[in-house]
């Protein structure tokens, strides 16, 4: 696992040319252009969607999301009524004349 200093170094390398403040989507796009690895891209996708003032704020957000526990997902069973008659799907296709 990378240390906080390593995270900050990676953020500085990837976002060195990016003008701040920057939105999360801009961070993700810049990292993709830079050729960041899948671990770094996953960290950026976990960031909250907002504007980040500087690389230090990005580093702090990455560290916060690494240490946060994932929220449990609650699934609801899908209920299909038995009295519904299914109709076939009709698709209209344009035929050139």
Sequence spans of domains, the chain: 4-67
- Counting residues of the chain whose pLDDT is more than 90, the rounded percentage is 15
Whether 28 and 45 have beta carbons less than 8 Å apart is answered as yes
Strands (E) in the chain, as ranges, are: 22-23, 51-52
The 10s digit of each residue's pLDDT in 5-46 is 666 777 888 888 888 899 999 999 999 988 888 888 888 999
Residue 1 predicted with pLDDT over 50 = no
pTM passes above 0.75: no
């Amino acid at each position: 696992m990378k240390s906080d200093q390593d995270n900050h170094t990676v953020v500085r390398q990837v976002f060195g040319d990016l003008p701040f403040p920057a939105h999360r989507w801009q961070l993700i796009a810049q990292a993709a252009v830079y050729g960041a690895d899948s671990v770094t891209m996953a960290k950026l996708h976990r960031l909250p969607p907002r504007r980040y003032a500087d690389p230090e704020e990005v580093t702090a957000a990455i560290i916060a999301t690494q240490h946060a526990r994932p929220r449990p997902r609650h699934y609801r069973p899908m209920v299909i009524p038995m009295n519904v008659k299914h109709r076939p799907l009709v698709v209209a296709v344009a035929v050139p004349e």
